[in-house]
Amino acid sequence: MSESDTAPPRWDAGWYRFARACPSPNFGARPPESTISLVLLHSISLPPGVFGTDHVRQLFLNQLDWDADPYFQQIKGLQVSAHFYIQRGGELWQFVSCDARAWHAGVSSHKGHDNCNHYSIGIELEGLEGGAFEAAQYETLQALLPELARQYPVTDVFGHEHVAPGRKTDPGPGFDWPLLQQSLGWLGVDFPAAAYTKKAC
């Protein structure tokens, strides 16, 4: 018997074994006819530009102290979640089963289909819109995305800015789409158009 025959399954009811599970109450059922085809990348930090706090986890769990920072008054009462959260050091958290509908996209549309929450998996990257991301975060993405594609019929990887233009700007110009697309080497999966343009030397 090989080691792979005795290893625990990588997925259990939409939960990925190699992510730190921290279930959020902010989720719902996907429509029965939905097909999980889209991965949406976001960026988040609380307060904006401040990294290494526990505030994002608290937000997704509805445990954020709204009085802990003046900025939090602007988002007071917000109830949101994402399936995954990747911290600056590459640590991977999961807040919602991928089989369920997380609350991350809001008013959105992709390729003529509204409400991306119905058919997408949301991944939040700890970062600031327009800022750069860490090598460890790309490495975690490069490991996670193929696992998602093996488990779900993923055909598209886009940013929040692409499905909610004019309303959202994350992850922003600091995210290296060409690096991600080229490192995966995927055929038959769509990325933003910029992903196909190699950066100049």
Could you list the active site residues? 124
Asked if 43 contacts 175 with a C-beta cutoff of 8 angstroms, the reply is: yes
Other CB atoms closer than 10 Å to residue 192's CB: what's the count? Answer: 19
Residue 148 DSSP SS3? helix
- Half-sphere exposure of residue 10: CA atoms within 13 angstroms, side-chain side: 9
Task: Dump the DSSP string for 99-143.
Answer: TSEES---S-EETTEE-GGGTEEEEEEES-TTS---HHHHHHHHH
